[in-house]
């Protein structure tokens, strides 16, 4: 745990969130500044600064994040599709340096994004 990390503080229960799911490895909660009608995050409980900092040992954890996000998206009624987003670094829009997966849905998305 990184004591200065916002998401580590959320994991520790120091900051309340609208929790959707939690197990020993991941936590999912609604984004506080949603960019779509449904917008939530899935974060690992292990502190990893971002996608560029993943190690081989983290591959299963990232898969668990994606499976959790997809299952919750279905539970929340996102039957017409949803977007999964990992940002890496400030230039890509990452503002909290603890890897997190955005799941967005409930509206039409366009390509290319951004």
| Number of separate helices (H) and strands (E) present in the chain | 2, 5
Task: Write phi, then psi, for 74 (nearest 5 degrees).
Answer: -65, -45
Answer yes or no: 102 catalytic: no
Compute the distance between CA of residue 19 and CA of residue 4 in angstroms, rounded to an integer. Answer: 21
Is the four-CA dihedral 78, 13, 62, 64 of positive or negative sign? negative
Among residues 39, 100, 102, 110, the one annotated as catalytic is 100
- Annotated catalytic residues are 100
């Amino acid at each position: 745990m990184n004591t200065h990390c916002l998401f580590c503080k959320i994991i520790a229960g120091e900051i309340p969130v609208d929790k959707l799911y939690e197990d020993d490895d991941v936590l999912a909660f609604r984004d506080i500044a949603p960019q779509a009608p449904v917008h939530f995050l899935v974060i690992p409980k292990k502190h990893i600064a971002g996608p560029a900092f993943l190690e081989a040992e983290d591959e299963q954890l990232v898969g668990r994040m994606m499976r959790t996000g997809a299952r919750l998206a279905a539970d929340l009624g996102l039957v017409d599709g949803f977007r999964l987003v990992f940002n890496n670094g400030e230039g890509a829009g990452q503002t909290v340096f603890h890897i997190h997966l955005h799941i967005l849905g409930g509206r039409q998305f366009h390509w290319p994004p951004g």
